[in-house]
């Protein structure tokens, strides 16, 4: 007869979204040197850094210009309008934290010389075409973090 002891052990039934699997970055000045970007966003402004030495507008925002290595950067406002350069709709295969949103549109928005990827809200895939005007939208997370999206202009 076996003398081996069996014992049921406990494990947590559910583990919440682990901190580093949350896609949204830490935004305050304790965690990033570009916290000004998120401060501006909270006030309704999408901004980025521009190099004062060589004039290059950098996206995403930086603390150092990769063109000339200058740390002399200034914040510039990108305005509230963009033009849809490309888009698709996520129907299958969204990551954790986004599965509940399916289907949703994502796209690349042209603002001046920049091509910025973003969620495109308030539209279905069929409602969109390349060249459409889209407007800046800010989403607020429950923990007071923020992020930018774009929204289809209903006036069109």
Partner 1 sequence: MKQVAIVAGGEAKAGRRAASWRDLVQEAGKALFEDVDNLSPKDVDSIFVGAAQPERFAFLSYVAPLVAEYIGVTPRKVIARTELACVSGQAAIRYAWNCVATGMSDIAVAIGVEKMYQPDMAEAQTTMTCVLDREWDGINCFSAPPIFAVTAQRHMYEFGTTEEQMALVSVKNHHYSSLNPIAHLRKEVTVEAVLKSPVVAPPLKLFDCCPMTDGSAGVILVRAEDAKKYTDTPMYLIGSGQYAIGNVINNLASLAEWVPLKLAAKEAWRTAKITKDDVDIAEVHDCFTISEIMEYEGLGFCETGKGGQFIEDGEPYIGGKVAVNPSGGIMGCGHPLGATSIYHTFEILKQFRGDVDKGRYVEGAEIGIQHSLSGAANLHSILVCSRELR
Residue 71 CB, shortest distance to Zn ion, in Å, is: 10
Does position 116 bind Zn ion by CB under 5 A? no
Look at residue 98 and give the partner it binds from Zn ion, partner 1, none, a contact being a CB closer than 5 to 8 Å depending on partner kind: partner 1
CB 153 within 8 A of CB 135: yes
| Cα-based distances in Å from 15 to 12, 18, 64 | 7, 7, 38
Q: Give the x-and-dash track for 54-73 against Zn ion (CB under 5 A).
A: x----------x-xx-x---
**One of 29, 53, 83, 127 touching Zn ion (CB under 5 A):** 53
Residue 152 CB, shortest distance to Zn ion, in Å, is: 35
CB 59 within 8 A of CB 48: yes
CA separation for the pair 113, 99 (Å, rounded): 32
Does position 51 bind Zn ion by CB under 5 A? yes
Residue 40 CB, shortest distance to partner 1, in Å, is: 16
CA separation for the pair 110, 134 (Å, rounded): 10
Look at residue 44 and give the partner it binds from Zn ion, partner 1, none, a contact being a CB closer than 5 to 8 Å depending on partner kind: none
- Which of the 8 DSSP states describes residue 126? G
């Amino acid at each position: 007869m076996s003398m081996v002891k069996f014992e049921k052990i406990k494990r947590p039934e559910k583990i919440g979204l682990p901190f580093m699997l949350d896609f949204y970055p830490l935004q305050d000045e304790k965690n990033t040197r570009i916290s000004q970007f998120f401060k501006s966003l909270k006030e309704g402004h999408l901004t980025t850094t521009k190099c004062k030495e060589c004039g290059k507008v950098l996206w995403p925002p930086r603390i150092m210009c990769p063109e000339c290595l200058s740390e002399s950067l200034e914040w510039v406002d990108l305005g509230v309008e963009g033009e849809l350069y490309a888009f698709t709709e996520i129907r299958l295969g969204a990551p954790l934290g986004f599965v509940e949103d399916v289907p949703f549109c994502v796209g690349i928005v042209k603002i001046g010389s920049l091509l910025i990827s973003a969620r495109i809200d308030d539209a279905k895939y069929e409602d969109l075409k390349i060249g459409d005007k889209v407007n800046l939208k800010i989403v607020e997370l429950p923990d007071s973090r923020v992020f930018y999206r774009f929204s289809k202009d209903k006036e069109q």
